[in-house]
């Protein structure tokens, strides 16, 4: 057996309907694929409908499951409500909400505009709040007896981290919401948990965070005691367990999956202290160039 192998048995999620925000690519796509393989029906959401359609078609072809692409900007509550209603129209119910949509970029905080700070806060914290509130109200109003919220946070949600202050601020808020609702909503049969991943590089997100040759200069694997980054299937395995009935007694927890990284040195991006001012200028230009393409 290997850490890249699939963990749960066939049909472990059969009959479940799962909504994955930010499900069109990266880790959201990896988790969605495994959910489908385990028998779940999945709705994936993001702002990019064309990417969602492509991903849904690809995953349906690979797994034989049903994947519903739904455009949704989680920053707006009314759009989240519409997305929920569209999911209910197609699948008839929702059992799991996976708050995975995120935004992040590295920068000295004094270089950030108020709008740049707000962009990350709005997607990560406000977006997770919007989805959690809409889905939670639905489950409570309809007296659904069992439901699960799973939030993707990060280890610097509790340690903080330099150079990603908006993300650290937002993720800390999501973690507090996770723990708070685990207590408050348990009486409704709603479990609330979180996963705090360490480095799990994805093509899109990590290219934006560390463009050019920066990913080679700042090799995240060197900070991990196990001397490697995470494999997407490892995260998918953990997520599938936490949304399955096998984890029915797990509530209000945050599970770290980072190879021991945060214990070795809190603050995933603190190593960026080594970047000189002129390199920050180059980094900003590379990020802006990618944005304008």
Residue range 100-118, pLDDT digits in tens = 999 888 899 999 999 999 9
State residue 149's pLDDT score. Answer: 98
Residue range 132-148, pLDDT digits in tens = 999 999 999 999 999 99
Write out the catalytic residue numbers.
Answer: 156
State residue 244's pLDDT score. Answer: 97
State residue 92's pLDDT score. Answer: 98
pLDDT reading at 268 higher than 70: no
Q: pLDDT tier at 9 (50, 70, 90 boundaries)?
A: confident
State residue 205's pLDDT score. Answer: 54
State residue 52's pLDDT score. Answer: 98
pLDDT reading at 196 higher than 90: yes
pLDDT reading at 155 higher than 60: yes
Q: pLDDT tier at 266 (50, 70, 90 boundaries)?
A: low
Query: What's the chain's average pLDDT?
Result: 91
Q: What is the DSSP string of the chain?
A: --TTS--SPTTTTTT-EEEEETTTSHHHHHHHHHHHHTT-EEEEEES-HHHHHHHHHHHHHHH---EEEEE--TTSHHHHHHHHHHHHHHHS---EEEE---------GGG--HHHHHHHHIIIIIHHHHHHHHHHHHHHHTT-S-EEEEEE--THHHH--TT-HHHHHHHHHHHHHHHHHHHHSGGGTEEEEEEEE-----HHHHHHHSTTTHHHHT-GGGGSTTSSPPPHHHHHHHHHHHHSGGGTT--S-EEEESTTHHHHSSSTTGGGGG--HHHHHHHHHHHHHHHT-
Furthest-apart CA atoms within the chain: distance in Å: 57
d(CA 269, CA 189): 37
State residue 259's pLDDT score. Answer: 94
pTM confidence score: 0.87
Return the higher-pLDDT residue of 225 and 27. 27
With CA atoms as reference, report the closest residue to 109 among 173, 196, 169, 174. 169
pLDDT reading at 269 higher than 80: no
């Amino acid at each position: 057996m290997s850490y890249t192998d699939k963990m749960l048995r066939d049909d472990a999620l059969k009959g479940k309907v799962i909504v994955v925000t930010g499900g069109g690519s990266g880790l959201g796509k990896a988790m969605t694929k495994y959910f489908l393989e385990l028998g779940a029906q999945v709705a994936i959401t993001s702002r990019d409908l064309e990417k969602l359609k492509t991903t849904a078609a690809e995953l349906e072809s690979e797994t034989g499951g049903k994947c519903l692409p739904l455009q949704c900007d989680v920053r707006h509550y009314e759009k989240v409500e519409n997305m929920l209603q569209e999911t209910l129209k197609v699948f008839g119910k929702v059992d799991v909400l996976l708050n995975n949509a995120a935004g992040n970029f590295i920068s000295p905080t004094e270089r950030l505009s108020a709008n740049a700070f707000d962009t990350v806060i709005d997607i990560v914290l406000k977006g997770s709040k919007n989805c959690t509130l809409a889905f939670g109200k639905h489950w409570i109003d309809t007296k659904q007896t069992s439901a699960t919220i799973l939030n993707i946070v990060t280890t610097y949600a509790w340690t903080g981290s330099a150079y990603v202050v908006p993300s650290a601020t937002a993720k800390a808020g999501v973690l507090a919401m996770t723990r708070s609702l685990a207590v408050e909503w348990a009486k409704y049969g709603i479990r609330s948990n979180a996963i705090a991943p360490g480095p799990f590089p994805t093509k899109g997100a990590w290219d934006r965070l560390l463009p050019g040759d920066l990913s080679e200069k700042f090799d995240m694997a060197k900070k991990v005691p196990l001397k490697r980054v995470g494999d997407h299937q490892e995260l998918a395995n953990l997520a599938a367990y936490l949304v399955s009935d096998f984890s029915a007694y797990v509530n209000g927890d945050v599970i770290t999956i980072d190879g021991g990284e945060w214990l070795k040195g809190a603050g995933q991006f603190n190593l960026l202290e080594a970047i000189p001012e002129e390199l920050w200028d180059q980094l900003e230009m590379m990020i802006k160039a990618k944005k304008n393409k």
